[in-house]
């Protein structure tokens, strides 16, 4: 039975990753940090030992991302490459796919992006139209994707498409590994207002030819594969958000202890102190839900993990947006300077409210799945 109090091993992992994050800091070079974290075994901590991973779970991986983000140097691709893509391949890939990808994803030498969002589907992933059809032994994939992170640097993108079910004629989800240099795989950066080293891309492909083994695992297991990736994605987004919130609050508290414009430092004014205290509490509460979700997921209870992971992502995203807002405000004019580096977090923090699933879609999920309320859409 897992405890809500972290084990000594987990505390030690936190401390070690925090020390790594501190060495890199806010002005980090993502590639250098990625390769150092990889060498220390942090990026593959959730992957099976048989493939060079650490044999841990999403709990450990979420510690790594949260602590790096709390040090001001989050690695967004951790949400995608080891958490979503490697999980899906480890659980559902063929032996060849596992051998080809897992050791390299575990030691960080290769990365994989994840593409599900489409321009005309957005939050409604039932509406995606990227379609694969058979051509001899090959597949021909046609579709468009939008907001896909890190495609330019990732060795491949795991694309969610659909194939026709021979029995029913209806379309069912299927996942394909698409190497970046596949002929016909076109990607174009989107001009985002986010200061981050990972860019978002629009993808387009028209009858792009893929070999038979590009399909992940079994053609009939696409839906299960997708669900296997969603919980880690939400838990890791929560970790990203909580780390960012802690980073911003840390800067604001430091500032509020020192900055004096009357007789006392501004942190003595309750109008400044209380919102920071409130944010700290909200971050701690959201982390408890994230830990619950990670424990459930790692224990193999996908269904219970689903609800907890959604709630954790919601709580962490909201805590992050509020913490960053209050932190920027605490610094007065300095909150908007480049020197103090908090203003850019205003846009960055909003990502955790909208992606990978928006606040409203989580509220819909809880309304329908948890509370049993009727659907409006
Ligand atoms: C920085 C960034 C990185 C991303 N990286 C990736 C990635 O790597 N891979 C990937 O596949 N995707 C990625 N995404 C896409 C992200 O998952 C989508 O933006 C998100 O799922 C929302 O889809 P949308 O933008 O189309 O919004 P829409 O679906 O158009 O929604 C717009 C607004 O309407 C609301 N809304 C929609 N439907 C309902 C409803 N039924 N009830 C109430 N409100 C509703 C939403 O909550 C939202 O506020 C990324 C996005 C960002 C911003």
pLDDT by residue (tens digit) across 115-138? Answer: 999 999 999 988 999 999 999 999
Q: Which CATH superfamily is domain 223-370 in?
A: Butyryl-CoA Dehydrogenase, subunit A, domain 3 (1.20.140.10)
Per-residue pLDDT tens for 331-342?
999 999 999 999
Q: Is the CB of 120 under 6 A from ligand 1?
A: no
299 within ligand 1 shell (Cβ under 6 A): no
pLDDT confidence tier of residue 219, bands split at 50, 70 and 90: confident
What atom of ligand 1 comes closest to residue 356's alpha carbon? 17
CA of 200 to the centre of ligand 1 (A): 13
- Residues of each domain in the chain carrying CATH 1.20.140.10: 223-370
Distance 127 CA to ligand 1 centre (A): 13
CB hemisphere CA count around 56 (13 angstroms): 22
Give the DSSP H/E element, type plus range, for residue 32.
Answer: helix 30-39
* Percent of the chain's residues with pLDDT above 70: 99
Any atom of ligand 1 within 6 Å of the Cβ of 337: no
* The CATH number of domain 113-221 is 2.40.110.10: yes
Q: Which CATH architecture has domain 8-111?
A: Orthogonal Bundle (1.10)
Which residues of the chain does CATH 1.10.540.10 include? 8-111
Residue 1 has pLDDT above 70, yes or no: no
The answer to whether 156 and 210 have CB atoms below 8 angstroms apart is no
pLDDT at 228: 87
Please tell me the distance from the alpha carbon of residue 377 to that of residue 375, in angstroms, as a whole number. 6
d(CA 322, CA 134): 49
Looking from the CA of residue 150, the nearest atom of ligand 1 is: 8
The average confidence (pLDDT) of the chain is: 96
d(CA 1, ligand 1 centre) in Å: 36
Q: Model pTM greater than 0.95?
A: yes
Task: State pLDDT tens for residues 232-279.
Answer: 999 999 999 999 999 999 999 999 999 999 999 999 999 999 999 999
- Res 185 pLDDT > 50: yes
> 94: CA distance to ligand 1 center in Å?
31
pLDDT at 370 over 80: yes
Res. 193: pLDDT tops 60:
yes
Q: How many Å lie between the centroid of ligand 1 and the Cα of residue 225?
A: 20
Task: Quote the pLDDT of residue 2.
Answer: 60
* Every domain range in the chain assigned CATH 2.40.110.10: 113-221
Beta strand segments in the chain, E: 112-115, 131-135, 138-149, 156-164, 171-179, 186-189, 200-210
Residue 116 Cβ contacting ligand 1 at under 6 Å: yes
pLDDT the model gives residue 128? 93
What is the reported pLDDT for 164? 82
């Amino acid at each position: 039975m897992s405890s809500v109090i972290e084990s000594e091993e987990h505390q030690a992992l936190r401390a070690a990753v925090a020390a790594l994050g501190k060495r890199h800091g806010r002005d980090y070079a993502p590639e250098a940090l990625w390769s150092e974290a990889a060498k220390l075994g942090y990026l593959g901590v959730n992957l099976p030992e048989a493939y060079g991973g650490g044999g841990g779970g999403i709990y450990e991986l979420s510690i790594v991302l949260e602590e790096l983000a709390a040090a001001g140097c989050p690695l967004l691709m951790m949400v995608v490459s080891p958490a979503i893509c490697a999980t899906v391949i480890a659980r559902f890939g063929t032996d060849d796919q596992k051998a080809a990808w897992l050791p390299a994803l575990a030691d960080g030498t290769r990365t994989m992006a994840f593409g599900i969002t489409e321009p005309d589907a957005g939050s409604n992933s039932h509406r995606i139209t990227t379609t694969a059809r058979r051509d001899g032994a090959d597949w021909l994939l046609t579709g468009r994707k939008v907001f896909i992170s890190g495609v330019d640097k990732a060795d491949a993108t795991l694309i969610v498409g659909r194939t026709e079910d021979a029995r029913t004629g209806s379309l069912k989800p299927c996942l394909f590994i698409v190497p970046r240099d596949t002929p016909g795989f076109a990607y174009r950066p989107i001009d985002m207002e986010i200061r981050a080293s990972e860019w978002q891309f629009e993808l387009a492909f028209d009858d792009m030819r893929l070999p038979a083994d590009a399909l992940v695992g079994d053609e009939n297991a696409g839906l299960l594969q997708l669900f296997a990736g969603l919980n880690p994605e939400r838990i890791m987004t929560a970790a990203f958000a909580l780390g960012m919130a802690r980073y911003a609050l840390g800067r604001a508290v430091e500032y509020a202890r020192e900055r004096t414009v009357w007789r006392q430092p501004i942190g003595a004014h309750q109008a400044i102190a209380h919102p920071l205290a409130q944010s700290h509490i909200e971050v701690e509460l959201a982390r408890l839900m994230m830990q619950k979700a990670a424990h459930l997921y790692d224990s193999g209870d996908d269904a219970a993990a689903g609800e907890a992971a959604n709630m954790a992502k919601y709580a962490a995203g909201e805590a992050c947006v509020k913490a960053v807002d209050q932190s920027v405000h605490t610094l007065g004019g300095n909150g908007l300077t480049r020197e103090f580096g908090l203003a850019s977090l205003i846009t960055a923090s909003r990502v955790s409210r909208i992606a990978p699933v928006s606040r409203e879609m989580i509220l819909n999920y809880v309304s329908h799945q948890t509370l049993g309320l009727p659907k409006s859409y």
